[in-house]
Amino acid sequence: MPKTKVLTDVQVKNAKPKAKPYKLSDMKRLYLLVGTSGSKRWYWAYRNGDRDCTFPLGEYPAVSLDHARDLRSAAAKEVDQGKPPTPVKVKQAKPAPATNNGAPASTPVDAPVPGSLWAVADEWLAKKTPNWGAGHAAKVRAMLERYVRDNPIGARPIGVVETGDLYALVTGVAVRSSVNKDAGERKAVAPHSAIILRRALDGVFRLAKMKGLIKFNPVADLRASDVVEKPAPKSNKALDSAGLVALHAAVGAYGGQMLTKLAIELLMLTALRTVEVRAADWQEIDFTNKVWNVPASRMKKRIEHAVPLSAQALAVLEKLKVLTGGKGWLFPNSRRPADYMASTTVNAALSYMGFGGDTGNWFRAHGCRGSFSTWAYGAGYRGEAIEQQLAHLEKDATKRAYLQAKFWPERVQIMDAWGAYLHGLKGTPGS
């Protein structure tokens, strides 16, 4: 396994802005996010149940590299104790002294103007992001930075921003378009972005109202339906036998990374959620007893979950062992080996295989669970055993332990039969 690279003070100091925000990763999932305007902010990515979360640690240079590491360690201890990390309070630098002509020195690019829309948005983000998944937090922050901080509206006093201003801002995002050069077509690509931006702005103005900065929330009159026609949602369908044959064929022919192919196979063979597979560690795999013990920290309901491993699942794990060395992550990130596989990798591969976009056979990784469930119920297994396998668990600890023991033999039988069924489909013409 490649050694984990760590940041140096020189790298942090010399990091320059680029066309898009980018990360500089340090050890233990600490990273520096460099904004398009040159801002540098520390974040720690961590697990909260079944979610990837992002915890802000302050802005460089107010928070140095060593200080950020100390703050990360302190936050990690709180998370290990089952507590949410305490928001970081960093003393801001004193105002710059006046220049020779008596005028104050220029304000840093990223310093919010007190009472401005961006100042409140920045405060709102600091309050909200610790409880969000990493992907969602990064998306909302990037959106507010692009359309509020880096826009003249961001410097305006929040009390003078009106509904019309926000309507123009959000509709401008909604109609943003892209061009298909081959077909010569232009189409709107950002309706979801506009919806997310409108929702974020609503939160910002509600905070401003609670702080007494405004009396009326101008986003209240700005409904999502007023600014964008929301695309119809796509249901995460389960695959029947023909669909599973097609999936087997597509995975077999996929020319991408072997780790991605094996991740899809394990998702199907175990009926686990995507994050439960891609963020797995080799210590969870018990080859002797043929069990995968998923820790509570990665489960949706924060309850440890044991998964019987079929012969087919064990065979996939043996292939993985050869590729990764059997230590650390089962699925290390191809770009950042110290981290695990990205949340978008599997679904991006499925789209590449023809299971995405506007195709009639749209399918996502989470659909593996539905495919298993549909087969298991159709095969006549008891619903209680199937739901146990899907980690739809009883809340009462005593009753849960009883049910886990009662249905474990049947769950082993179900997963062995499911593995054999999937293996048999590989020999079907077209697979």
SS3 at position 137? helix
pLDDT confidence of residue 410: 95
Distance of alpha carbon 280 from alpha carbon 274, whole angstroms: 10
Among the listed residues 56, 2, 49, the one whose alpha carbon sits nearest the alpha carbon of residue 33: 56
Measured CA to CA, the distance from residue 429 to residue 275 in angstroms comes to 32
| Per-residue model confidence (pLDDT) at position 52 | 61
Task: Give how far the C-alpha of residue 281 lies from the chain's centroid of Cα atoms, to the nearest Å.
Answer: 18
Quick: pLDDT tens for 260-314. 999 999 999 999 999 899 989 999 999 999 999 998 877 877 778 899 999 999 9
| More confidently predicted of 205 and 348 | 205
pLDDT digits (tens, 9 = 90+) for 380-401: 999 999 999 998 876 777 777 7
pTM of the model: 0.54
Distance, CA of 408 to CA of 414 (rounded, Å): 10
Question: For residue 3, is pLDDT > 70?
Answer: no
Q: What is the pLDDT of residue 111?
A: 57
Percent of the chain with pLDDT over 70: 80
pLDDT value at position 275? Answer: 87
Please say if the pLDDT value at position 80 is more than 80.
no
What is the number of alpha carbons within 13 Å of residue 342 lying toward its C-beta?
Answer: 9
- Domains along the sequence of the chain with CATH: 1-86 (3.30.160.390), 111-233 (1.10.150.130), 241-426 (1.10.443.10)
What are residue 413's phi and psi, to 5 degrees?
Answer: -65, -45
Burial class (CB in 10 A: 0-12, 13-18, 19+), 67: middle
b/e sequence 285-319, b meaning 16+ C-beta within 10 Å: beeeebebebbebbbeeebebbbbbbebbeebbee
Position 95 confidence tier, pLDDT thresholds 50, 70, 90: very low
pLDDT top residue among 111 and 391? 391
d(CA 307, CA 272): 9
Least confident of 130-134, 203-207, 346-350: 130-134
Max mean pLDDT range (114-123, 263-272, 399-408): 263-272
